[in-house]
Amino acid sequence: MHKTSEWLLSFTSEEESSNNSQDHLLEESRGCQKISITGGKGGVGKTSIALKMAQELSRVGYKTLLIDCDSNLSNTAIKLGLPIDNKFEKLLSAEISFEECLIQRGKFHLLPACNGSLSLFENKLQLDEIIIDIIESHEHEYDYILLDCPAGLDKHALKLNAYCDHRFVVITPDRSSITDSYSLVKLLSLNFGIKQNHLVVNMFQQEKQYKKVVEIFNDTVERFLGCQTVTLGGVRKIDVDTTCFDTFFLSEENNEFQKNFVKLLYGFTEKFGGPVKPRTQSGIASLALEHDVH
């Protein structure tokens, strides 16, 4: 049976769905950790955060794969200043291998998607199933696999989010971002029994604003959906020229922004199912020591 079909069969009834809680996922996850970076609304910074996470994890020794799941509007390579290509289309047609499609920077591997591929648009492929099969085939090679999921409530994106061990829901102080992400959490709960997600507040300006967003979102999700939200932290709005944004955001320069982002990521890896042994001796602890995270 198709691997994706096997997984989807576990959600064929309401009773079975209720048994597939996040606690169960955490107990079952072994080795490679699969994390979706997601949100209900576009433009909240998911791609930048996904890239930053992948870079930091790989920099301290974890072999990390980032998959761009926005199949025909891929931005990951663009943010890295790399030329656009449609190798992903050739991967789907088996013209090239998985390895030939990858962008590799040390332990950071990126699988970009396409930009404006007519063939991809017309074929109407089940891309969620294709991506899950790619993960199933290669997860033994990685410590972390991150999915840069498209925004919204598309059924393919919902399946990818549900498949992952963890979901990082990225929201901004914008009311529509909060509302749309609530809807995302609601559908994941009702359709897949997902009861726990992680929250990252992006582009907040003041600590008071950050705390208000966290309180509103977490309380609403718990009260009306009975779901738990683990708050990882926030990323302040960066006051830099738009032409320099990606360079600054993805820089490894040891400034306050970098320290705060590392602290957010370190908190997750320490508490929620990180691999026992990284693929180098440095480990995630070195990340904390280097940046004085306590």
* Helix, strand, coil percentages, rounded to 5, for the chain: 50, 15, 35
pLDDT tens, position by position, 141-167 = 999 999 999 988 999 999 999 999 999
Q: What is the pLDDT of residue 288?
A: 36
Q: How confident is the model at residue 240 (pLDDT cuts 50, 70, 90)?
A: confident
Q: Kindly report the pTM of this predicted structure.
A: 0.82
Transcribe 128-149 into DSSP letters. HHHHHHHHHHHGGG-SEEEEEP
Joined together, the tokens standing for residue 126 give: 């089940």
Q: In this predicted model, what pLDDT tens digit does every residue of 14-71 receive, in sequence order?
A: 444 444 444 443 334 458 999 999 999 999 999 999 999 999 999 889 999 999 998 7
Residues with Cβ within 8 Å of 190's Cβ and at least 6 positions away in sequence, in order, are none
What's the half-sphere exposure (Cβ side, CA atoms, 13 Å) at 3?
11
pLDDT for residue 9: 53
Apex CA 83: angle with CA 164 and CA 159, to 5°?
A: 15
Q: Where are the domains of the chain?
A: 20-268
CB of 77 within 8 A of CB of 83? yes
Report yes or no: 291 and 64 within 8 Å, Cβ to Cβ. Answer: no
Non-local CB neighbours of 242 within 8 Å, separated by 6+ positions: none
Work out the average pLDDT over 226-249.
90
Q: How far is CA 84 from the centre of its chain?
A: 21
Contacts by 7-14 with C-beta closer than 8 Å and gap 24+?
A: 7/132, 7/163, 8/159, 11/162, 11/191, 11/192, 11/193
State the pLDDT confidence band at 13, using cuts at 50, 70 and 90: very low
d(CA 202, CA 235): 5
In the chain, count H helices and then E strands: 15, 8
Please compute the mean of the pLDDT values over residues 180-199 and round it to a whole number: 97
Return the number of other C-beta atoms located less than 10 Å from residue 268's C-beta: 21
Closest by CA to 44, choosing from 168, 146, 172, is 172
Identify the pLDDT of residue 175: 95
Count of alpha carbons within 13 Å of 224, Cβ hemisphere only?
12
CA angle, corner 31, sides to 29 and 36, nearest 5? 65
Confidence band of 253 (pLDDT split at 50, 70, 90): confident
User: Residue 199: which of 33, 38, 32 has the closest Cα?
Assistant: 38
**So what's the pLDDT on residue 121?**
73
E-assigned strand segments in the chain? 33-38, 64-68, 103-105, 108-111, 144-148, 166-171, 196-204, 228-236
Task: Kindly state the average pLDDT of the residues 63-90.
Answer: 88
For residue 167, the one-letter residue type is R
- The CA distance from 183 to 221, in Å, is 10
Homologous superfamily of 20-268:
P-loop containing nucleotide triphosphate hydrolases (3.40.50.300)
